[in-house]
Structure 1
């Protein structure tokens, strides 16, 4: 585990960057034109970024980014 100390301004900036990244990934996940494998990779990355954001975001803000839908399974 890695610990880091941030100033208040740096915390606000990190909050902003993570929120924007989550927004972009949600947009990409809703794009049906993307290959299913790519969307699964984005979903995996989304979980990591979401967990980072969840460490300091208020629950009201966090609920905006909680994913409800699952990706469909690939047909064999």
Structure 2
């Protein structure tokens, strides 16, 4: 296990950067032009980023970025 000591400004910056990455990843996941072979790796990256967001953001903020289960 690793620890990280950051101040409030750094926490906000990390939260901002992670949210931007998540939004970009969501946009790409919805893009039909991206091959379906690549999408599982993108979903895995999204989950990793989401777990990082859970460590620095409030639960309310995290709820906005939860992936919806798609039935296909």
Task: Give your verdict on TM over 0.5.
Answer: yes
Task: Map Cα deviations across residues 23-54 of structure 1 (whole Å, 9 max, x no partner).
Answer: 00000000011011211111000000000101
* Gap runs ≥5 in structure 1: none
Please identify runs of 4+ aligned residues in structure 1 that moved more than 6 A.
none
SS of corresponding position for 1:21: helix
CA distance in 2, matches of 1:71, 1:5: 41
* Gap runs ≥5 in structure 2: none
Name the larger-Rg structure.
1
RMSD: 1.5
Contact 1:15 1:53 in 2 (8 A): yes
- How many residues get paired? 72
